[in-house]
Structure 1
Amino acid sequence: MKELRDKEFGGERPLFASHCLRLESVTFHAGESALKYCGDIVAVRCTFEGKYPFWHVDGFEVKDCLFTPGARAALWYSRNLVMTDTLVEAPKMFREMDNLSLSNVRIPDAQETLWHCRGVKLRNVEVANADYLFMHSSDIDIDNYRQQGNYSFQYCKDVVIRNAVIDSKDAFWNTENVTVYDSELTGEYLGWHSRNLKLVRCRISGTQPLCYCENLVMEDCRMGDDADLAFEDSSLHAVINSNVVSVKNPRSGSIKALAIGETILDENLLAPGDCEIVTEI
């Protein structure tokens, strides 16, 4: 493997179509597409300042690196990435990618990040300003994760999340086969129009959660004082180890909670309208 150490590059495509290359303490200044159409790249303690540095790359490791705000849209149309111990200040990262693993990564400006990605593994990752994170992505495995940003995980499939704190309005809309364990979910309109959403030992806050769901499962969950008007037009089986402020027109299944402040069953209840509601004080 060829090695470049303590170098600086700028302009357009300085290392175009390079393969079997190790970069250590290399800085890529303003420019475009520094490593386009590359493969078998290792970047250690490098700084990326220009746009689109890793496009159409197959096989690369990024360790202890910095992507400045100028390195926007840095990793697109690529596959087989391992990124560790890295700060990503650039927005709109990770599009149309396959098989990417992020560990000990911070993304403080994660707007429109991780779109149309397949085979995503996150460990000890923190994101902020993450509006529209994870659009149309699939096969996602997340553990020890913190997120602030709205409209996340929309249209995602086959997702497992553990030990997360997710602050996100409209999270998990139109998702399919999502399971969340031991996590805190805060935000309005959680999980609307989802299919096969499963929440295990989670705490849920925010108004009108979990409406229009198909086959919602909740096990040993808790709901906050602002989680009102829950479960409208949902089919579900829920065991909730707390009080619920209000439940509105659940379509079918069962709800078991410590107490329910108000149960609303009105003329808008859709068939079959036979959800079993049980409370234990």
Structure 2
Amino acid sequence: MEKIVGKSFDEERALYGSNGVEIENCRFDGPADGESALKECKNVSVSDSFFNLRYPFWHVDGLKISGSEMTDKCRAALWYTRNAVMKDVKFHGIKALRECSDITIEDSDIISPEFGWSVNGITMKNTSAQSEYFMMRSNKLKFNKVSLKGKYSFQYIEDSEFEDCDFDTKDAFWHAKNVVIRNSTIKGEYLAWYCENVTFENCTISGTQPLCYCKNLKLINCKMLDADLAFEKSEVEATVTTPVISIKNPLKGHIEVPEVGEIIRDDENSKGEILVGEKTCACS
């Protein structure tokens, strides 16, 4: 494997098409302002390096990055790349990850609007993120100990698992399918509308109008805080351990809750049972 240490690159396609290269303590920055430094490469290892130019890792197959920084000027850093493992990396440019597959990210920091669109297979651990439209239309996500601050996150995702995560994000999990979230905190309004086959287990959910228009929704031993107008027109099986402000027109299924401030029934198709304490309530 060719080793490149302590060099600077600013020209267009500086290392284009390289196969088997190890890059250490290098800078991709400078007045030439060149793009696509490592486009169409294979078997690339990068450590302790700095990226301040656009599109460095497009169409790369076999990539390892550690201890490196991609600045806010490093736009669209990884597109169409596969088999990448990244640890202790700063992803600070917009649209940093898109249409990639078999990705692992650990111990990293993401500040990147529109991060992670249309990704097929991503494992993320011990990572913090700030993003809008985070991970949209991606599948096979496996997240553990990930914190997120954002908007419109995880929309249209499929076949994914989340554990021990902390999400502060409005409009999360809209249209999600086949997703399990365990031991996590999800804060934000309008959670998971139009989702299908989504399960929350041992989670804390807070925010207005959560979990509406859902199919085959499950809540197992979950807390719901500041939740009003919940479960509207949803097919749901839920065990909630905290009082809920209001529940509106659940379509079918069962909701167990210790206390509810108001039950709204103004839709004749609302047949879901609400069990308050140990009593079934069909209140209107």
Q: Does the alignment reach a TM-score above 0.5?
A: yes
CA contact (8 A) 1:250 1:269 kept: no
1:136-175 mapped onto 2 (5 Å cutoff): 136-175=137-176
Where do 1:52-201 residues align within 5 Å? 52-107=55-110, 109-128=111-130, 130-201=131-202
- Aligned partners of 2:232, 2:272: CA distance in 1, in Å? 11
Contact 1:242 1:258 in 2 (8 A): yes
Tell me the equivalent position of 2:281: none
8 Å CA contact 1:119–1:139 kept in 2: the answer is yes
Deviation at 1:110, TM superposition (A): 2.1
The superposition leaves residues 243-275 of structure 1 with CA deviations (integer Å, 9 ceiling, x where unpaired) of 111000000000001111110001x343xx321
In structure 2, what residue type is equivalent to 1:164?
C
Deviations 1:211-255 (A, max 9, x none): 00000000000011x210000000000000111110000000000
Residues 84-114 of structure 1: CA deviation (Å, up to 9, x unaligned): 011122121110000000000101x221000
Q: Which whole-Å CA distance do the structure 2 matches of 1:88 and 1:199 have between them? A: 29
Deviation readout 1:103-139 (Å, 9 max, x if unpaired): 00101x22100000011000001001x1101110000
Q: Which runs of 5+ in 2 are unaligned?
A: 279-284
Cα offset, 1:170, TM superposition: 0.4
Residues 38-75 of structure 1, C-alpha deviations (whole Å, 9 max, x = no match):
00000000101100000000001000001011111000
Q: How does 1:7-22 map to 2 (within 5 A)?
A: 7-22=7-22
Question: Which amino acid in 2 is paired with 1:264?
Answer: I
> Which amino acid in the other structure matches residue 235 of structure 1?
E
Structure 2 SS opposite 1:31 = coil
Separation in 1, partners of 2:265, 2:18: 65
Q: 1:234–1:250: 8 Å Cα contact kept in structure 2?
A: yes
Q: Which runs of 4+ in 1 moved over 4 A?
A: none
Q: For residue 201 of structure 2, what is the amino acid of its counterpart?
A: V
2: CA distance between counterparts of 1:164 and 1:78? 26
Query: For 2:171 and 2:37, how far apart are their aligned partners in 1?
Result: 36
Whichever residue aligns with residue 121 of structure 2, its letter is: G
Percent of paired sites with the same residue = 39
Q: How far 1:31 sits from its partner (Å)?
A: 1.8
Partner of 2:217: 216
